Amino acid sequence: MVNKESKLVPVLLSGGSGTRLWPMSRELMPKQFLPVAAAMSLFQLTVQRLNGLSALAPIVVCNQEHRFLVAEQLREISIQPQKIILEPTARNTAPAIALAALAAMQNDDDPILLVLPADHLLEDQQTFCATIANSMSLANKDYLVTFGVTMLQPETAYGYIQLGTHLTETPGYEVKAFVEKPDRARAQLFYASGDYVWNSGLFLFKASNYLTELKQWAPDILACCEKTFQNRHEDEDFVRMNANDFKNCRSDSIDYAVMEHTARSAVVPLTTPWSDVGSWASLWEAKVGEHDANANVKVGDVILEDVQNCYVHAEDRLVVALGINNCVVVETADAILVANKDKSQEIKTIVSKLKSLNREEILNHVMVKRPWGTYQVLMEGPNFKVKKIVVYPGAQLSLQSHEHRAEHWVVTAGIADVINGEQFIQLTANQSTYIPARAQHRLSNNTSQVLELIEVQTGNYLGEDDIKRYDDVYGRVGAESI
296 and 205 assigned to the same domain:
no
Pairing of strands 302-305, 319-322: parallel
5/470: higher pLDDT:
470
342 and 433 assigned to the same domain:
no
Which of 275, 306, 327 terminates a domain? The answer is 275
pLDDT level of residue 30 (50, 70, 90 thresholds): very high
Q: How many domains does the chain have?
A: 3
User: Collapsing DSSP states into helix, strand and coil, what is residue 473?
Assistant: coil
Residue 288, pLDDT score: 61
Residue 59 contacts residue 104 (beta carbons within 8 Å): yes
41 and 147 assigned to the same domain:
yes
Beta bridge partners of 305: 322
Q: Domain residues for 35? A: 8-275
Residue 60 contacts residue 116 (beta carbons within 8 Å): no
Per-residue pLDDT, averaged over 161-171, amounts to 89
In a domain, 281, yes or no: no
251 and 173 assigned to the same domain:
yes
DSSP-derived secondary structure for 43-97: HHHHHHGGGGS-----EEEEEGGGHHHHHHHHHHTT---SEEEEESS---HHHHH
In a domain, 481, yes or no: no
Q: How far out from the chain centre does Cα 377 lie?
A: 24
CA–CA separation, 251 vs 23, rounded Å?
A: 26
pLDDT over 90 at 96, yes or no: yes
230 and 151 assigned to the same domain:
yes
Give the CB-side neighbour count of residue 304, counting CA atoms within 13 A: 24
pLDDT tens sequence across 386-402: 999 999 999 999 999 99
301 and 194 assigned to the same domain:
no
In a domain, 64, yes or no: yes
- Phi, psi (degrees; rounded to nearest 5) at 412: -110, -25
155 and 267 assigned to the same domain:
yes
Q: Residue 23, preceding bond cis, omega within 30 degrees?
A: yes
Residue 42, pLDDT score: 94
pLDDT over 80 at 13, yes or no: yes
pLDDT over 90 at 33, yes or no: yes
pLDDT tens sequence across 460-470: 999 888 999 99
pLDDT tens sequence across 354-375: 999 999 899 888 888 888 999 9
Which of 222, 256, 275 terminates a domain? The answer is 275
Which of 233, 251, 275 terminates a domain? The answer is 275
User: Collapsing DSSP states into helix, strand and coil, what is residue 322?
Assistant: strand
Residue 412 contacts residue 454 (beta carbons within 8 Å): yes
pLDDT level of residue 155 (50, 70, 90 thresholds): confident
pLDDT level of residue 290 (50, 70, 90 thresholds): confident
The domain spanning residue 458 has which CATH number?
2.60.120.10
pLDDT over 80 at 310, yes or no: yes
pLDDT tens sequence across 241-282: 999 999 999 999 999 999 999 999 999 999 998 988 889 998
Residue 251, pLDDT score: 95
Residue 143 contacts residue 205 (beta carbons within 8 Å): yes
Nearest to 6 by CA among 292, 228, 204: 204
In a domain, 295, yes or no: yes
Residue 364, pLDDT score: 85
334 and 453 assigned to the same domain:
no
Residue 473, pLDDT score: 87
Three-class SS of 330-377: EECCCCEEEEEHHHHHHHHHHHHHHHHCCCHHHCCCCEEEECCEEEEE
Residue 275 contacts residue 281 (beta carbons within 8 Å): no
In a domain, 342, yes or no: yes
pLDDT over 70 at 456, yes or no: yes
Per-residue pLDDT, averaged over 207-215, amounts to 97
Residue 478, pLDDT score: 56
Report the first-to-last Cα separation within the chain, whole angstroms.
Answer: 42
Helix 219-230 / helix 207-217 crossing angle, nearest 10 deg? 120
Beta bridge partners of 313: 299, 330
Between 26-30, 257-261, 327-331, the lowest mean confidence (pLDDT) is in 26-30
The helix (H) or strand (E) run that includes residue 164 is strand 160-166
In a domain, 353, yes or no: no
**What is the percent of the chain where pLDDT is above 90?**
77
Q: Which amino acid is at 319?
A: V
In a domain, 477, yes or no: no
pLDDT tens sequence across 412-442: 999 999 999 999 999 999 999 999 999 999 9
163 and 306 assigned to the same domain:
no
Residue 163 contacts residue 267 (beta carbons within 8 Å): yes
Q: Which residues contact 298 (CB under 8 A, 6 or more apart)?
A: 292, 304, 312
186 and 40 assigned to the same domain:
yes
pLDDT over 80 at 122, yes or no: yes
pLDDT level of residue 3 (50, 70, 90 thresholds): very low
431 and 306 assigned to the same domain:
no
255 and 213 assigned to the same domain:
yes
pLDDT over 90 at 2, yes or no: no
Mean pLDDT value across the chain: 92
pLDDT level of residue 235 (50, 70, 90 thresholds): confident
The domain spanning residue 229 has which CATH number?
3.90.550.10
Contacts 24+ apart (CB under 8 A), 31-38: 31/119, 31/277, 32/118, 32/119, 33/66, 33/69, 33/73, 36/277, 36/283, 37/121, 37/277, 37/283, 37/286, 37/287
Alpha-carbon torsion, ordered 161, 162, 168, 170, to 10 deg:
20
Burial class, 160, CB count within 10 angstroms (exposed 0-12 / middle 13-18 / buried 19+): buried
In a domain, 359, yes or no: no
